[in-house]
Structure 1
Amino acid sequence: MTSADDRVVPAAARRRRRPTKTGVVLSEELIVQTALRLLREHGADALTVRRLGLALGADPSALYRYFRDTDDLLLAIADELIGRTLRDWRATGVWRADLRDLGLRIHAGALAHPQAAVLSSYRVTGRVHEIEAVETIIGVLRGAGFPDPDAVRIYHAFVDQALAFAALDAASVALPRAAREAEAGVWRAMYARLPADSHPNIAATAHHLVRDMGRSAYPSALDLLLSAAAARLAEAEADPGASGGGSRSPGPSH
């Protein structure tokens, strides 16, 4: 798509009066869902106005009523993935458990749509689901008792860690099966056979490397981050002035 700001119409006016050739009525939601399907089935090259129009049974120019260009659509896809993360998530009031669950949901959502995650995980959308996520995560941290400066720093680290691992692991999942299997075999074929006299540390840990390197490190990295955050909270509670100032939510600490 090329930029077409003047053709984007208000949301209330976007709904088509007549169905497309396939009998469906276009909407922003339908276009995003179709784009996700095309990305999953055909990769990044599928994200073109021509292929979307073909899949929807609509004139490609009709898509400009909903999105200015493919980048605008990509932001909507990114926001949809965030929305799916939040849809069934419920806070328990235990900050560490709540953030761990949310982080794992972000990661799992990316792996469910690896092509979309690779393209969109680094984007800032400014859309409704992203705003909700920012409000929710900072709220969990402030409710736990983190001073505001710490809440923002930990939010930043939490989100960037989750999205970075999402992009990394999604890129791996998006590889052709043969490439993934070849990479997994390197740990057994190469590292597990290195001699102890030349590579003593690899040889001593080879069985752990073979077992661990084939799976995502995100759960372990997330636990390390949350442990560091818990330690920082304990420090802030012991010395409230050490946080550099800022407000604290009166919510309970867990």
Structure 2
Amino acid sequence: MAKRVVPESARRRRRPTKQGQVLTHGLIVETALRMLREHGAAGLSARRLGLALGADASTVYRYFRGMDDLILAIADEVYGTAMAGWRPAGDWRADLRDLGLRIHHAYLAHPQAALLTASRVTGRPNEVGGDETILGILRGAGFADPDAVRIYHAFIDQCLAFAILDAATLALPKAAREADEEVWRDTYARLPARTHPNIAATAPLLVAQMNDSAYPAALDMLLSSASAQLGRDS
């Protein structure tokens, strides 16, 4: 049976924690995000979270049904930072591009959290609000509902997939990440045209571009395809 979640008004501690703070849902999520940033997913547990908060581990379960419930709250918090303060400019393509880059950036600001949460579906307010906004942009642009859903599906999955891919790179130890980046210069750029004519011909471009995220280019391709379809259907 799922644990009962105590309403916010009833779950506040009467006394501050050892750090002098009163526990709240937001403080726990913020602390969990910090722990993920510093220690990765393996370092996040109710016991360690309780220690970081200066409270007993069981206190966490007054706010969350379990650690997975906390993970979903973290996912919604990260999504919320992407949507915070966003306002539409009125051009559907520019608006979707801006939203995609904002969501991608929000996850990369928390790479360890991205690896843990970007594949999850939370059904929570920030995620639901973002989905409503994206679908509204597409339907407002004139896409029929089946096309709006298809493009939304591709748009959000592309964004989250790149977030996971790019976050995995950022989450690597610095030495491993730098070693991977050097492969393009130290291996690919030195391949002879005799055996690898295509790589040799494009080597300078590969060295210049392959260590950057391909997400902006992929996003532009998706939006160009959607725009072309809209033009054909008009």
Identify the TM-score tier after normalising by the shorter chain. Answer: over 0.9
1:28 aligns with 2:25: yes
Q: Taking structure 1 as the reference length, what is the TM-score of the superposition? A: 0.90
What's the CA shift for 1:44? 1.0
Asked if the contact 1:117–1:167 (Cα under 8 Å) also holds between the matched residues in 2, the reply is yes
Picking from 154, 164, 168, the partner of 2:151 is 154
Asked if the contact 1:117–1:166 (Cα under 8 Å) also holds between the matched residues in 2, the reply is yes
Q: RMSD across aligned C-alpha pairs, in angstroms?
A: 1.0
What's the CA shift for 1:42? 1.2
Picking from 15, 18, 36, the partner of 1:18 is 15
Equivalenced residue count is 234
Partner of 1:204: 201
What's the CA shift for 1:235? 1.8
What's the CA shift for 1:23? 1.3
What's the CA shift for 1:83? 0.4
Partner of 1:187: 184
**Paired residue secondary structure (1:154):** helix
Partner of 1:143: 140
Q: Which runs of 5+ in 1 are unaligned?
A: 238-254
What's the CA shift for 1:8? 2.1
Q: Structure 1 CA distance, aligned partners of 2:193 and 2:231?
A: 43
Partner of 1:108: 105
AA in 2 matched with 1:9 = V
1:80 aligns with 2:85: no
Partner of 2:211: 214
1:48 aligns with 2:63: no
Q: Structure 2 CA distance, aligned partners of 1:7 and 1:48?
A: 20
Q: Structure 2 CA distance, aligned partners of 1:148 and 1:14?
A: 43
What's the CA shift for 1:234? 1.0
What's the CA shift for 1:108? 0.8
What's the CA shift for 1:45? 1.5
> Alpha-carbon deviations, 1:124-158, whole Å to 9, x = none?
00101011011000001111111111111100000
Q: Structure 1 CA distance, aligned partners of 2:100 and 2:91?
A: 14
> Alpha-carbon deviations, 1:108-130, whole Å to 9, x = none?
11111000001100000010101
AA in 2 matched with 1:176 = P
What's the CA shift for 1:6? 2.6
What's the CA shift for 1:49? 0.5
Q: Structure 1 CA distance, aligned partners of 2:5 and 2:50?
A: 16
What's the CA shift for 1:17? 2.3
Q: Taking structure 2 as the reference length, what is the TM-score of the superposition? A: 0.97
Q: Structure 2 CA distance, aligned partners of 1:12 and 1:46?
A: 30
Partner of 1:167: 164
Higher relative contact order (CA 8 A, sep 6+): 1
Asked if the contact 1:145–1:233 (Cα under 8 Å) also holds between the matched residues in 2, the reply is yes
Q: State percent identity of aligned pairs.
A: 68
